[in-house]
């Protein structure tokens, strides 16, 4: 299998699968719709598959790249080098508040390494109030989970938490053949737009996360069992939530009601 693209050999430890399909790249850039004046940040620019066409449309772009060799290549980019601000760092450790500007919220995008896509997303959720939108390439299965609604087999902790922070819109599916080297799985691009007002009020996001984790870790059990360490059956009934339901039937609103009760009672 060919692992070399534009003279660079893909490094597995950095999750490098480079986009190599002009039609797909154009569709992604159209979905991002970069405009001059936008505060654009790309995570993992790699060999510039998305960086180049975005730079053709705007005058400034910040990129976060962990691979030193790739960051160096970008620094010496013959056409777009001067437009780029290069942050040579692990995106998981970047303080995105430092990149945000008062008058221009962040617009983040990237074809992310699949092994760290969920941690990067949660890291970015912690800056959700500074972000206008995000466009990410993930495994298709992850996009399905992000967008899933109650009652669906893909519905889980990731769906509840992502939908608490953002509006989730799958944009396009991308086959393995669009990359060098091709990944083993199907991919998809998703648009995540942080809510200006959260769809539900929660007193602690950490508690919401804890309740979802407990419920979905034992998704076959009824919630009176899976949640018993933080809430009793009688309390679920008092909140109007049937304790014989299973995790996948509860809405974000239901989880918020439970989490707020747990938080209030310090359980």
Per the annotation, where are the binding residues for S-adenosyl-L-methionine? Answer: 17, 19, 44, 65, 90, 111
Nearer to ligand SAM, 65 or 263 (CB): 65
Which two structure tokens, joined as six digits, stand for 78? 């013959």
* Shortest distance, position 93 Cβ to ligand SAM, whole Å: 8
DSSP E strands, the chain? 4-5, 8-9, 18-19, 39-43, 61-64, 84-87, 106-111, 131-139, 166-174, 179-180, 187-194
The DSSP string of 156-206 is SHHHHHHHHHEEEEEEEEE-GGGEESPPSS-EEEEEEEE-SS-SS--S-HH
Nearest-approach distance from CB 124 to ligand SAM, in angstroms: 12
**Residue 127 C-beta: closest distance to ligand SAM, Å:** 15
The continuous run of DSSP H or E covering 94 comes out as: none
Q: How far apart are CA 150 and CA 202, in angstroms?
A: 19
x/- track of binding to ligand SAM for residues 46-75 (CB under 6 A): xx-xx-------------xxxx--x-----
Q: Enumerate residues 110-129 that contact ligand SAM by CB under 6 A.
A: 111, 113, 116
**Closer residue to ligand SAM, CB minimum distance, 18 or 255:** 18
Q: From the CB of residue 138, how many other CB atoms can be counted at a distance below 10 Å?
A: 24
Binding of ligand SAM by 84 (CB under 6 A): no
| Site size with ligand SAM, rule: CB under 6 A | 24
User: Cα(93)–Cα(19) distance, rounded to whole angstroms?
Assistant: 25
Instruction: Examine residue 29 and tell whether it contacts ligand SAM (CB under 6 A).
Output: no
Chain positions contacting ligand SAM, by CB under 6 A: 14-19, 43-47, 49-50, 64-67, 70, 90-92, 111, 113, 116
């Amino acid at each position: 299998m060919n692992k070399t693209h534009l003279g660079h050999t893909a490094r597995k430890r950095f999750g490098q699968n480079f986009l190599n399909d002009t039609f797909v790249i154009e569709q992604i850039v159209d979905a991002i719709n970069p405009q001059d004046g936008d505060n654009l940040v790309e995570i993992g620019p790699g060999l510039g598959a998305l960086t180049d066409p975005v730079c053709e449309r705007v005058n400034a772009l910040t990129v976060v790249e962990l691979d030193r060799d790739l960051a160096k290549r970008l620094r010496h980019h013959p056409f777009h080098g001067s437009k780029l601000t290069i942050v040579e760092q692990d995106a998981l450790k970047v303080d995105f508040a430092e990149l945000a500007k008062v008058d221009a919220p962040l617009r983040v995008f990237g074809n992310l390494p699949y092994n760290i896509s969920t941690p990067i997303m949660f890291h970015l959720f912690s800056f959700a109030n500074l972000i206008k939108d995000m466009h990410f390439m993930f495994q298709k299965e992850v996009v399905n989970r992000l967008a899933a609604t109650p009652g669906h087999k893909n519905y889980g902790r990731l769906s509840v938490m992502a939908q608490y922070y953002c509006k989730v819109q799958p944009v396009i599916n991308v086959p393995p053949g669009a990359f060098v080297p091709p990944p083993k799985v199907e991919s998809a691009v998703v648009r995540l737009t942080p809510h200006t007002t959260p769809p539900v009020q929660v007193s602690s996001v950490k508690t919401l996360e804890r309740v979802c984790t407990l419920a979905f870790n034992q998704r076959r059990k009824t919630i009176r069992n899976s949640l018993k360490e933080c809430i009793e059956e009688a309390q679920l009934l008092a909140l109007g939530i049937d304790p014989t339901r299973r995790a996948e039937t509860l809405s974000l609103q239901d989880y918020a009601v439970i989490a707020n009760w747990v938080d209030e009672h310090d359980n």
